[in-house]
A and B are shown apart, each in its own frame.
Chain A
């Protein structure tokens, strides 16, 4: 039963080789989608190019449906998947800061790597800013980590919180994506005049 890691112990070298291989697919997809470009990414906040939401939601829904099917057919043990503990305050505050960093910096951590790989100097500076920020967090405010650890609500998923099964949630997300796709098409036409001319 999947995940592989639950019945097969990978050596350290195997584990890192798997990381490089999966990372290749990750970076390839990000660049293919245009996410090595800060203007393509931030366009989502000016509504003239919604690619960020389209890609993210398609990825989430695809993986969600895959996980549901694999677990419903007994091929995947959901209990073996890691669930990051929920902490409402930390995830809300962190999200607000992260969103501010995204619109000002033009990237998120993963896409800054795709930007660097394709020659964007601002991608490199974003990554250096990330490194400085992570370093500063550890040196200046390590207490935040302790606070989060001690006061987290624990692993919590929507099916657990609501009592509505994962299959229904997957259907709801697919339906929402279909509806959003229609709305995003409207927005892109309405705000298309903001799109920079190629050149």
Chain B
């Protein structure tokens, strides 16, 4: 499937750009991602994660206002890292992920500014929903102690019971709500 950008304001130059390549086969790409996860376990003894990077940045922001508060708040303290919250392993992981995704996108002619949405919502509505969704997902990830990377993939691979509960809850919830969100996507 070609990536569909509903943004109608693509610059005229986009017409002469190379068409985006097809995505890779999902099973093979998944196996490759599994090897990255396996390597992460074999090297570090831990798996992948993403939410921790956001925690590190939040703790850093809090420390700008008050280092004492950032070091003592129970949720910030996890990322305090002796006063160097930005030297976070997960933050550097996501920095690498940003570069990896960019390189992949450039090679496949998929890097172009735009907003992803269905035809029945405006760009502004979609951006507001993206922010709101991110906020709610963050709360969920904080309570569950992980997200699709840190719980579903990482925990799933070692048959962590809590991770499997998380994964079932994520899919049950999203499928139950998909009908109500259909205007945003279809």
Whether B97 and A24, one on each chain, are in contact in the complex, defined by CB atoms closer than 8 angstroms, is yes
Assess whether A176 is interfacial by the CB under 8 Å rule: no
Whether B38 and A5, one on each chain, are in contact in the complex, defined by CB atoms closer than 8 angstroms, is no
Whether B39 and A22, one on each chain, are in contact in the complex, defined by CB atoms closer than 8 angstroms, is yes
B107 to chain A, nearest CB (A): 9
A106: contacting residue among B37, B92, B108, B130, CB under 8 A: B130
B161: contacting residue among A55, A116, A158, CB under 8 A: A158
Q: Which residues of A sit under 8 angstroms from B143, Cβ to Cβ? A: 90, 93-94, 97, 144, 148
Whether B58 and A105, one on each chain, are in contact in the complex, defined by CB atoms closer than 8 angstroms, is no
**With A and B bound together, what is the CA distance between A74 and B104 in angstroms?**
36
Whether A119 and B113, one on each chain, are in contact in the complex, defined by CB atoms closer than 8 angstroms, is yes
Whether A96 and B172, one on each chain, are in contact in the complex, defined by CB atoms closer than 8 angstroms, is yes
Interface size class of chain A, counting residues whose CB lies under 8 Å from the partner chain: 35 or more
Closest to B92 in A: A19
Whether A101 and B134, one on each chain, are in contact in the complex, defined by CB atoms closer than 8 angstroms, is yes
Beyond A102-B170, A133-B138, whether A81 also contacts B45 by CB under 8 A is yes
B96: contacting residue among A27, A60, A107, A139, CB under 8 A: A27
Whether A23 and B142, one on each chain, are in contact in the complex, defined by CB atoms closer than 8 angstroms, is no
Beyond A98-B144, A104-B177, A169-B159, whether A61 also contacts B34 by CB under 8 A is yes
Provide the main secondary structure of the chain B interface: helix
Chain A, 66-98, CB within 8 A of any chain B CB: 66-67, 70, 76, 78, 80-88, 90-98
B22-66 to A contact mask, C-beta < 8 Å, 1/0: 011011111111111111111111111011011101110110000
Closest to B36 in A: A25
A16: contacting residue among B87, B111, B163, B168, CB under 8 A: B87
B167 to chain A, nearest CB (A): 7
Closest to B3 in A: A37
Q: Which residues of B sit under 8 angstroms from A187, Cβ to Cβ? A: none
A176 to chain B, nearest CB (A): 12
B93: contacting residue among A26, A39, A59, A143, CB under 8 A: A26
Q: Which residues of B sit under 8 angstroms from A92, Cβ to Cβ? A: 165-166, 169
B10 to chain A, nearest CB (A): 11
10 inter-chain pairs at a CB distance below 8 angstroms, sorted by A residue, are A33-B23, A39-B118, A45-B178, A51-B23, A76-B41, A86-B161, A97-B139, A110-B48, A126-B130, A142-B74
Mark B residues whose CB is within 8 Å of A.
Answer: 1-4, 23-24, 26-48, 50-51, 53-55, 57-59, 61-62, 73-76, 78, 87, 89-90, 92-105, 108, 110-119, 123, 126-178, 181-182, 184-186
> 6 tightest A-B contacts by CB?
A105-B133, A23-B96, A129-B134, A95-B169, A94-B144, A58-B30
Mark A residues whose CB is within 8 Å of B.
Answer: 2-6, 12, 15-16, 18-34, 36-40, 42-43, 45-46, 49-51, 54-64, 66-67, 70, 76, 78, 80-88, 90-123, 125-139, 142-146, 148, 153, 155-159, 161, 166, 169, 181, 194-199
